[in-house]
Structure formats: C-alpha cells, structure tokens
C-alpha cells in the first residue's frame, strides 16, 4: 500500500486521537501514543510457502527495501486458500529461518581427531565431499550378490532426505543416488 501525504495526515490524526481521560472530569490534555505507522508499511511484500510440513501454508514476507534490505516480518497470508492467515508455532517462527545469529552462513570444517571447527571455502568443501563419495562408493560397490545376480549397488553410503527439499530437487537427488547404486535412501519424516 502506498502512503501519500493526505493519508499520512489522516493516519497521524488517528494516532493523536489516542486520548486518556483521567482525574476528576475529562482531562482534555491528550496523552498521545507515538505515531503508529506500521513497521511493515514501507516494506516490500512477497508471498511464499512455509518450508516445514507438507500442509504448505502461505506466508507474507516483508522486506525492508529502504534500509538493510533484510526480512523484517513473516506472517500468515490471509488470502492463501490453505491456511487463510493462520500458522502453527513453527510457521509463526519462520522469521528466524532468515534472521538468526545462530544461522550458519559459511562452511565450517572439523578435521578428524580434532575438536576445532575451521572456516573452509565452498570450492574446497564441495570437491572434498565429491572425493569422499567416490572413495566410499568404489570401496563398497557390489556388482553381483551371493547368488551371482547382477545388483550394481553400494552398501557404504546412505542418504537422508528432507521435507524441505522441493519436488524438482528431489528428482535430481533421487537420480544421482540411484545412478551411484545407493539403496539406503530414506526420508527424515520416517525416522
């Protein structure tokens, strides 16, 4: 919603109408509460879907465009047909998925036999993971089982999926794991 000069004056008038009557008779001195422009008033509003369970509640994400450019509020989308504005405790806390000092924003690596975490670059981490996957797969690959049947599987790697992965990403994951011969493919919701 855009706020013109006229609307702003209207709004200020509403705010100053906040009056307390105290003492004997009516106290005409207005005790104003601070001009109450919504903190999300100048924010950009984006629709999104809650990342948690499969209900798929709609949310409104308010982003502060002028200042930090960060998310300032996430609440239920009243126009969404699934939840009509409501959210459970997890959904109501969505704001913290974005804005939380405990979030990991860099790759952290703990080498074997140490208790120290060190920062590592993405390129190194990705190639290291690929290297380990290849190693484990080559070491545990089974071409034929005891009965001599062709199985082409690897028992050394398991995969745990997540409810927060989208359909298309899941397809890629599934295709990659099957092509490597994984059979232990699980989902977090069943554990």
Partner 1 sequence: MGKGFFIDLTKCTACRGCQVACKQWHKLPAEDTYNWGSYQNPADLSFITYKLVRMEEYVENGKVTDWLFFPDQCRHCIEPPCKMVGDMDDEQAILQDFDTGTVMFTGRTRNLFPDEIKGSCPYDIPRACEDTGVISKCDMCFDRVINGMLPACVLSCPTGAMHFGDLGDMKAMAEERLAEVKKIYPNAVLGDPRAVRVIYLFQTSPHRYHGAAVASLHGPKRFTRKEAFAKLFKTRRPLA
Q: Quote the least distance from Cβ 143 to partner 1, whole Å.
A: 51
Q: Give the span between the Cα atoms of 72 and 139, in whole angstroms.
A: 49
Partnered with residue 49 across adjacent β-strands are: 58
What is the C-alpha R_g of the chain?
Answer: 27
Q: Quote the least distance from Cβ 1 to partner 1, whole Å.
A: 9
In the region spanning residues 87 to 116, those forming contacts with partner 1, defined by CB under 8 A, are: 87-89, 91-93, 95
Tokens 């997540």 found at: 162
In the region spanning residues 7 to 66, those forming contacts with partner 1, defined by CB under 8 A, are: 11, 14-15, 17-27, 31, 33, 36-39, 41
Q: Quote the least distance from Cβ 87 to partner 1, whole Å.
A: 5
In the region spanning residues 121 to 160, those forming contacts with partner 1, defined by CB under 8 A, are: none
CB nearer to partner 1: pick between 64 and 155: 64
* 64 touches 98 (CB < 8 A): no
Q: Quote the least distance from Cβ 5 to partner 1, whole Å.
A: 17
Cβ burial 25-42 (10 Å sphere, 16+ → b, else e): eeeeeeeeeeeeeeebeb
Angle at 154 between CA 160 and CA 125, to 5 degrees: 55
Contact footprint for partner 1 (CB under 8 A): 11, 14-15, 17-27, 31, 33, 36-39, 41, 73-76, 78, 83, 85-89, 91-93, 95
């Amino acid at each position: 919603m855009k706020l013109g000069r006229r609307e702003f004056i209207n709004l200020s008038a509403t705010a100053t109408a906040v009056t307390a009557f105290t003492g004997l008779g009516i106290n005409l001195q207005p005790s104003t509460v601070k001009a109450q422009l919504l903190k999300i008033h100048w924010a950009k509003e984006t629709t999104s879907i809650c990342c948690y369970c499969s209900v798929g509640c709609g949310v409104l994400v308010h982003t502060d465009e002028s200042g930090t450019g960060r998310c300032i509020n996430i609440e239920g989308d009243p126009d969404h047909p699934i939840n009509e504005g409501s959210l459970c405790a997890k959904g109501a806390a969505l704001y913290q998925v974005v804005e939380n000092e405990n979030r990991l924003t860099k790759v952290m690596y703990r080498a074997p036999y140490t208790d120290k975490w060190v920062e590592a670059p993405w390129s190194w981490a990705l190639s290291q993971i690929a290297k380990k996957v290849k190693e484990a797969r080559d070491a545990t690959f089974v071409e034929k089982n005891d009965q001599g049947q062709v199985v082409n599987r690897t028992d050394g790697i398991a995969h745990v999926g997540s409810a927060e992965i989208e359909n298309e990403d899941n397809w890629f994951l599934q295709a990659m794991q099957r092509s490597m011969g994984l059979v232990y493919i699980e989902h977090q919701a069943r554990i």
